[in-house]
Amino acid sequence: MKLLKNRRLSRAAVRGGLYAAVFALCVILSVLIGDTAVLPAAAARDLPIYSVDRPNKVVSLTFDAAWGNEDTQQLIDILGRYNIRATFFVVGEWVDKYPESVRALSDAGHEIMNHSDTHPHMTQLSREKMIAEVTACDDKLEAVTGVRPILFRPPYGDYDNAVVSTLRELGHYTIQWDVDSLDWKNPTPEAICERVLSRAREGSIILFHNAAKNTPAALPSVIEGLIAKGYSFLPVSELIYRENFTVNHEGRQIAGS
């Protein structure tokens, strides 16, 4: 009887080992083929708008204003020469220092949007502090321009799901870019122009900065090069879709839900 009992235990152990091996194989296969019935899917990312799926050749020129102010009037003059309305993402502390420049940008027809109040890494803030940063900048811009922003660009391009969802609750579209001029690295005007012209496409959002060394020298060639390629220009609020849209894995906004 003891021998028979030991054989039964051995067979049960073998069966248990086989079941464990089969289960382990199923888990491995589920990882390889994405069987969500066995393993939970990764959480979806809540992406900002990097570009817009537009049928026509239109782009947006955007400028981040956080530090200096030495070339703001130059940028206004250059854009005015080509009758282009751009989008300036402005930090609240910059508004405090240069309210006359904010007013000049607005008077020239450019839209002034939110770039936070103190230029922090938004992903390191609590929801309450995010709201405080955005609201403070909104209040300052509205006091100067009479218009409350609806667009937000996170400082350093730093965002996560919490940032995007919190801004949505505040009525803001979170905006990134798909063409970076890298003007803050002080490349030559020719290098800035070549980089932008080689990367722009329908619905591109192009990133520049005010107070970057060679941006004023590069900007006319960038604009003329884009015009020669058949592009026209809109501020970001007119480039994007306000409703009934999706944002794909590249951050490209697409009409229709």
Whole-angstrom distance, CA of residue 30 vs CA of residue 37: 8
Whole-angstrom distance, CA of residue 11 vs CA of residue 232: 77
Q: How many CB atoms lie within 10 A of CB 92?
A: 22
Kind of pairing between the strands at 232-233 and 58-65: parallel
Question: Token pair of 98, please?
Answer: 């240069």
Name the catalytic one among 110, 115, 172, 209.
209
Alpha carbon separation from 25 to 15, 31, 49, 240 (Å, rounded): 15, 10, 40, 47
Indicate if 158 belongs to the active site. no
Contacts of 211 (CB under 8 A, 6+ apart): 65, 67, 68, 69, 70, 71, 72
Question: Token pair of 63, please?
Answer: 């400028």
Nearest alpha-carbon partner for 172 in 206, 141, 203, 207: 141
Q: Max Cα separation, the chain?
A: 102
Whole-angstrom distance, CA of residue 33 vs CA of residue 127: 37
Q: Give SS3 for 34.
A: coil
Indicate if 46 belongs to the active site. no
Name the catalytic one among 64, 71, 138, 178.
64
**Where in the sequence numbering do the catalytic residues fall?**
64, 209
